[in-house]
Amino acid sequence: MKGSKMTKNKAAERKKEKAIEDISISRNIQTLQQMIPGCEEETEVETLFEKSIDHILKLKSRVQLLRDLLKQCDK
């Protein structure tokens, strides 16, 4: 009897952990949607990730451009 009760408790605990995990993932996706221009209403996670990668690469390119411009100004 004790084994069955412990198994049920572990199952309930795992279910609770999974629910918390799902909420956390959902919040992270919502945050990403807010951070990436044009993705506020994006529902496909794969598309959101692709657009996020594209946005990050564009930002990286802009940073490099600004660094290069700064070097030119310093000369």
Query: Tens digit of pLDDT for each residue in 38-50?
Result: 999 888 999 999 9
Q: Pick from 64, 36, 30, 61: which is nearest to 50 by CA?
A: 36
pTM for this prediction: 0.71
Identify the architecture of domain 2-74 in CATH.
Irregular (4.10)
- pLDDT attached to residue 8: 83
- pLDDT attached to residue 3: 59
Q: Which helix (H) or strand (E) holds 56?
A: helix 45-74
**Domain range annotation of the chain:** 2-74
